[in-house]
Amino acid sequence: QSALTQPASVSGSPGQSITISCTGTSSDVGGYNYVSWYQQHPGKAPKLMIYEVSNRPSGVSNRFSGSKSGNTASLTISGLQAEDEADYYCSSYTSSSTLPVVFGGGTKLTVL
């Protein structure tokens, strides 16, 4: 299975906004609204931040938002805070594989 493409790293200062991209194909990101985003702090299990492109689970800050355009999904974090520093992964349903879901390679967010 081919992973979705994410930037290896992004950074921003407290209070700023950043966007993490997740690029796939029409067989995954572009073809279905089943994109999720996860946050993972070192040594911890991942946490679901966004599901079905733009929906936030209960308890997730509204500073986190998701969107999609064509084959690229995006996670935007506004009002950056120190605790946002973590790894972020996207995932998508895919019709092009025997396993119907694929992760992105992950993006390390550094809060300067």
State the residues that interact with other proteins by CB under 8 A. Answer: 1, 3, 34, 36, 38, 40, 45-48, 51-52, 57, 87, 89, 91-93, 97-106
| Best CA proximity match to 86, nearest among 49, 31, 55 | 49
Least distance to other proteins from the beta carbon of 24, Å? 14
Pull the structure tokens for residue 38: 């996860």
d(CA 28, CA 99): 12
Least distance to other proteins from the beta carbon of 77, Å? 18
Pull the structure tokens for residue 54: 């733009």
Nearer to other proteins (CB atom), residue 28 or residue 84: 28
Q: Which amino acid is at 40?
A: Q
Nearer to other proteins (CB atom), residue 38 or residue 64: 38
